[in-house]
Amino acid sequence: MKILLRFIGKIILWFFILSIGFTILYRFVPVWITPLMVIRMVEQSMDEKREVRFKKDWVSIEDISRHMAQAVVAAEDQKFLDHFGFDTEAIQKAMENNQSGKRIRGGSTISNQTAKNVFLWPARNYLRKGLEAYFTLLIEVIWSKERIMEVYLNVIEMGDGIYGVEAAAQQFYHKPASQLSRGEAAMMAAILPNPLRWSPAKPTGYNYRRQAWILRNMNNLEPVGFGK
């Protein structure tokens, strides 16, 4: 029993060392690969009808249109600049919706999504959610809000094998992310809930309605202040 407890203790210790170490490292260096990217490439390689696609170009926040940060905040997390990783009001509403049998809502913030995208795998269970909360706290403590936004915009899934706004801007609008207009940024934010189903190149009626809603929110919110 003592040997087992000592072994478990070493695993826990190394988990904290590595998780904190990588979080510090990613404060300064680009995140080139994430667990989701690896999973998607494995899924593609196992499907004979699909080719393995991987398009991702890291760019600094200064090389991303300011409209993009404003759009994702308006669409995904309007309290991003004010909370410490968790929107308690959104979480409470999500719990009420789930308990009443309505469509499940997550109350996830940009910080939550960044922590999940960079360090974890896509799943819905208490272990994953607990780890997501832990890594969210880590990045909120160690990174700045600007760095969280920079990483988020560089690793989010934007299509089949397309990651980050630079690769998406080149793929869908044939221009760098620094030149995205308000409308283009809002449309890219509009497809984020399901980027494998929707595309900025072929928006649906729902995408156009969501784009219009995002544009209104962009006008009503204070400028985020990140980007070119």
Give the per-residue pLDDT at 140. 97
Q: Is residue 213 part of a domain?
A: yes
Q: Is residue 226 part of a domain?
A: no
Place of tokens 């995408």: 207
Give the per-residue pLDDT at 12. 95
Vertex 196, ends 43 and 183: CA angle to 5°? 150
CATH number of the structural domain spanning residue 154: 1.10.3810.10
Give the per-residue pLDDT at 160. 94
Domain count, the chain: 1
Give the per-residue pLDDT at 101. 60
Per-residue pLDDT of the chain (228 residues; tens, 9 = 90+): 788 899 999 999 999 999 999 999 999 999 999 999 999 999 999 988 888 899 999 999 999 999 999 999 999 999 999 998 888 776 677 666 666 665 545 579 999 999 999 999 888 889 999 999 999 999 999 999 999 999 999 999 999 999 999 999 999 999 999 999 999 999 999 999 999 999 999 999 999 999 999 999 999 999 999 998
Residue 125, Ramachandran bin (φ over 0: left; ψ between -120 and 50: alpha; else beta):
beta
Give the per-residue pLDDT at 192. 96
Q: Is residue 228 part of a domain?
A: no
Domain encompassing residue 177:
2-45+55-220
Q: Is residue 50 part of a domain?
A: no
Give the per-residue pLDDT at 63. 97
Q: Is residue 163 part of a domain?
A: yes
According to the 3-state scheme, what is the secondary structure of 146-197?
Answer: HHHHHHHHHHCEEECCEECHHHHHHHHHCCCHHHCCHHHHHHHHHCCCCCCC
Give the per-residue pLDDT at 154. 98
Q: Is residue 38 part of a domain?
A: yes
Q: For residues 164 and 8, give the distance between their C-alpha atoms in angstroms, rounded to a whole number.
A: 37
Q: Is residue 225 part of a domain?
A: no
Give the per-residue pLDDT at 105. 53
Structure tokens that stand for 143 in this block: 């990174």
Helix spans in 26-164 (H): 35-46, 66-76, 88-99, 110-119, 126-142, 145-155
